[in-house]
Structure 1
């Protein structure tokens, strides 16, 4: 389970581009006048806790409109350096006229493990409903991995929409003209996804450390012990505690 994602091509898909991105901050003048939009104030209060089961520590999962599809189970992750859509989700959408662009920069979870994305795709993304709906083009990194989520809304989209998330209030708020748009979280889906993620992670670990090979010579690879035949090997699943 990747709780925080870094890497990707958000700040450039090369070392030179990422260094240039860092230098922009050094050249920034603190007192310079910025052409910032005049947004309405965004705040959270007791009224935002209506229909929220408390106490809780649930993640914020929302339903968003991506390329005219209402996509549920989108994980709002302020720690992710990229927006992510999983390959299985993209395949189900059966989009035409959108191309997958290659990228070389890997993604890294907080454990440091690397994952090579399949590419990236730019799709229209909408937050909110009715008169408060706001639509922008968003770049998604495409990943093929077993996940209970359909996608991850990371810092790039949150910044583009100037959105503010509150996991406690289970809401995502964003400016929509002079008003504040709201996307509500789904606590039930969040808890089901958590259970599924733990199950997926548990099965993955059992597959990695629960198989050994019996043979004439032995090799150690991290937590795996391989006892190799010269002409092949037989795999036997270990039962913990047996």
Structure 2
């Protein structure tokens, strides 16, 4: 089961708003969709190599006109996933990748930060019973036996019903029914490969080899370790006045000492100032203006978190957004200018005797 991502908005506030709207919705009985009835029967079992199986439903479909195999149909996933390795084999230059803030969570609670979000045309079925819709895929850079995962959003868009028992995905196409047949052989291969990948990840996660800087890594989240409430934590200063972190009071003394030493040694890789979050619309505006500044050569990318400053979007009278940078912390650390601003009456008097006055815009 996969949860998280930009479902109902790419922020916790947007999700809460969506939840409140859903709880206040009224059921409208007279709004009945027309179309064929989707059902499964004995005829759908024909062609299966084993009718007593418990194989997952793995299909193939056209994604952006690419024939993509190993697509896992997962009704337990709140998002659709397209893995980075699959995208690397596709030429998707015309499609824009949007940023994603919210992390993804599996049933174990481990978080994965997505690479981005991309909207691609997905075609299910063949010939006259085929159906194409624009589907939002969350890009994940992680090893997987599958090329993509179709979750509940895709099932809703296609009004599809999946059956792992019958190894079919059915959806309405006008007054007819389109369907996609699963591949049991590929499904079983993917299962074996996925288990091997997960076993390898578990072994790597419990390895005590040196970290990227040749230092001892501290495994902060062992298996079955519950999250700690804030009131059960104590504040620990990290090389004052750098910042502070909260550590569980119940943690062992030896592990606590290793943890604090580890954070002190790596304090330069943390941004100790708070990052400001925006909604999807504002993130798109920020990304566009940053790309324009990079293209013009006005700014360049650096890795220097000491003076990491948030951007601020200010609404214009035209309804558009103007991007500014919050340099208040930087201004506080800069020496003050001891020369006061000139008096406006002196500026006016200084123009006396001149024929022209130039107001040059430094834009």
TM-score (norm 2): 0.57
Q: What is the match of residue 129 of structure 1?
A: 126
Instruction: Select the structure of larger CA radius of gyration.
Output: 2
Q: What is the match of residue 34 of structure 2?
A: 38
Alignment of 1:86-235 (within 5 A): 86-211=83-208, 221=220
Task: State the distance in 2 between where 1:195 and 1:16 align.
Answer: 39
Q: CA deviation at 1:210?
A: 4.2
Q: Deviation string for 1:28-64 (max 9, x for gaps)?
A: 1124533x43120000011000111221100000001
Q: CA deviation at 1:212?
A: 5.2
Q: Deviation string for 1:80-105 (max 9, x for gaps)?
A: 00000000101101212101000101
CA 1:220–1:57 in structure 2 vs 1: closer, same or farther (change >3 Å)? closer
Alignment RMSD (CA, Å)? 2.3
Structure 1 runs of 4+ with >4 Å offset: 217-226
Task: State the distance in 2 between where 1:202 and 1:219 align.
Answer: 21
Secondary structure (helix, strand or coil) at the match of 2:194 reads helix
Structure richer in strand, relative to its length? 1
Runs of 5+ consecutive residues of structure 2 not aligned to the other structure: 211-215, 224-253, 259-363
Secondary structure (helix, strand or coil) at the match of 2:38 reads coil
CA 1:32–1:207 in structure 2 vs 1: closer, same or farther (change >3 Å)? same
Q: CA deviation at 1:16?
A: 2.3
Q: What is the match of residue 49 of structure 1?
A: 45
Q: Deviation string for 1:106-128 (max 9, x for gaps)?
A: 10101111110001000001110
Deviates more, 1:202-211 or 1:77-86: 202-211
Secondary structure (helix, strand or coil) at the match of 1:93 reads coil
TM-score (norm 1): 0.85
Task: State the distance in 1 between where 2:119 and 2:209 align.
Answer: 44
1:17 aligns to 2:22 (yes or no): no
CA 1:212–1:116 in structure 2 vs 1: closer, same or farther (change >3 Å)? closer
Compare relative contact order (CA 8 Å, sep 6+) and give the higher one, 1 or 2.
Answer: 1
Task: State the distance in 2 between where 1:147 and 1:162 align.
Answer: 27
Task: State the distance in 2 between where 1:221 and 1:137 align.
Answer: 40
